[in-house]
Structure 1
Amino acid sequence: MEVWDLFDENRQPLGKQAGRKDPMVKGEFHIVVVACVVNDQNEILLTLRSPDKEKYPGTWENTGGALEAGEESRAAAVRELFEETGIRVRENELHLLDSQMEEYAFIDFYIVRKTVPVEEIRLQKGETADARWVSLSEFVRMGEEGKIAPPIYQRFCRLREKMEVFLKEDRRKERYPACRGKNRQESKKIVILGCSGSGKSTLAGQLGKIMDLPVVYLDALSWDAGWKRKPFDEFDRLTQSEIRKPEWIMDGNFPRTVEHRMDVCDTVIYLDFKRWFCILSVLRRVITNYGKPRPSMNPGCPEKFDPGFLKRIWNFDRRSKAHYYGYMKKLSGTKLIVLKTRKEVNRFVKQVEKEGRFVRGNFPAGPK
């Protein structure tokens, strides 16, 4: 019988398992993956559910299924795609389009570029009865006519805008090599810390493009238009929603949530720059972008001169630096990277371009 690991609403393991036929309990979730295959004509692969299936027999769907106990999300997507279609892909070919929380499951939706003739698709007995490639407009028409399994079409409608953006892009190239060696740990959840003006947001944007990871700017979650700070409970809720996703880069300090982010991440990057450098960077940013919001902020939050902000930068080392290093020294099994100059940052970015998500740490790890 298929067995699943169970998680709480923050996607943290509960140390419990359930079988496919076991009733789900409110507040407990398992993880489901969807592998949407797109060919070089921007057509989407659909498979026909077997008429013997208990739910939605004879309807079309994307490939997908639940994670087995002890399985990782990307590995499950690779497995499900091969089992149901015979299509082989590597984990680093999958692009995470989004992760959503439904009533009893987290849904990780991946897209992969692969062109395979229909006659070469190997159908899984008892699961899939047919396969076809359809255009985006045809997918929508089939969904409206009820030919696509309702949960699949509802999910697609929520992701349609992101899907359209993806389909307009050129074929995605492999952005990082396959893992070489057992000790090479892939980075999927990265926290970037450091004094304001050290370049956290810029580095987060660069890494997001190179490593094909979504970037979360905590400043954008914290401030509404007019520089009005969101209530703490709303900010915490928004942050938790991002943290529970399987892949991300998070830019921002925010001490109230930093320990939790560091507990769940696999990589911490700390920009330990001199305070005079950070102040000059902020002044340069204000002069260049005065009256306009920077890319990592919400519209309605224009760049401005704030003497109190400069004072906080000047006092950052005295008030915060030791705390962040203290957190880092407590971590075990987390890659720690400390960068102290712009040259080190540039060298690190070039290293990431070569090694991708398998980039190495340079700071001593905590106790084992």
Structure 2
Amino acid sequence: MDRIAILGCGGSGKTTVGRTLAAHLGAPLTHLDGLYYDGDWNTLPPAEFAARQEEIVAGPRWVVDGNYAASMPIRLARADTVVFLDIPPPVCLWGILRRRYAYRGGQHPDQGVYDRITWNFVRYVLGFRRSMRPRVRVMISEHAAHADVVVLTSRRAVRRWLLDLPKESS
């Protein structure tokens, strides 16, 4: 595992898994939310967002967490490992609430963005498995057939998988 793309619904644990993998592997970590948004929730133009991702995935080792379907093929094409956190919506909503409480709605020091919960976001989370999961699976099959794909469907499965990671040799 040298180039890892982490996908999943908001609140599924992408950031936590990304931090853990990056630390375990000694690889640089990129949170796509932190790349895409500034502190005031202004967004990068799509071409610049894609170009920045191209630069990141050109490197020999990286961990990138985030979905952004329009640019997902960029990451999937270079990833040797894809981790898809297919976590149930109620668990994701609980994760969002815990994150909101932990940061008090403020800026995430590790991502550079503020926590923002809107009704549209809640609807997105509730409908993720119905609307986005099929698209993610298609993109993985089309752009990451060469990669090892890990699908984790519960917090327990995530913890178990992280604990079972092979030790890196120096």
TM-score by length of 2: 0.91
More strand by share: 1
Counterparts of 2:42 and 2:50, CA distance in 1? 16
Query: Are 1:308 and 2:159 matched, yes or no?
Result: no
Shift of 1:246: 1.2
Alignment partner, residue 233 of structure 1: 47
| Residue type at the aligned position of 1:280 | W
Q: How does 1:98-247 map onto structure 2 within 5 Å?
A: 187-247=1-61
More helix by share: 2
Given that 1:219 and 1:296 are in contact with CA atoms closer than 8 Å, whether structure 2 keeps it comes out as no
Counterparts of 2:167 and 2:78, CA distance in 1? 20
What secondary structure sits across from 1:336 in the alignment? strand
Identity across aligned pairs (percent)? 27
Counterparts of 1:211 and 1:310, CA distance in 2? 33
Query: Are 1:345 and 2:158 matched, yes or no?
Result: yes
- Structure number with larger C-alpha Rg: 1
Query: Are 1:334 and 2:147 matched, yes or no?
Result: yes
Alignment partner, residue 84 of structure 2: 270
| Residue type at the aligned position of 1:346 | R
Q: Give the direction of change, closer, same or farther, for the CA distance of 1:277–1:345 in structure 2 (3 Å limit).
A: same
Given that 2:54 and 2:74 are in contact with CA atoms closer than 8 Å, whether structure 1 keeps it comes out as no
Shift of 1:245: 1.0
What secondary structure sits across from 1:294 in the alignment? coil
CA RMSD of aligned residues (A): 1.7
Structure 1 gaps, min length 5: 1-186, 359-368
Structure 2 gaps, min length 5: none
1:319 corresponds, among 102, 127, 131, to: 131
Counterparts of 1:318 and 1:290, CA distance in 2? 30
Given that 1:192 and 1:251 are in contact with CA atoms closer than 8 Å, whether structure 2 keeps it comes out as yes
Aligned length: 168
| Residue type at the aligned position of 1:205 | R
4+ residue segments displaced more than 6 Å: none
Q: Which has the higher contact order (CA 8 A, sep 6+)?
A: 2
Given that 1:195 and 1:271 are in contact with CA atoms closer than 8 Å, whether structure 2 keeps it comes out as yes
What secondary structure sits across from 1:257 in the alignment? helix
Alignment partner, residue 287 of structure 1: 101
Given that 2:15 and 2:65 are in contact with CA atoms closer than 8 Å, whether structure 1 keeps it comes out as yes
Shift of 1:293: 1.4
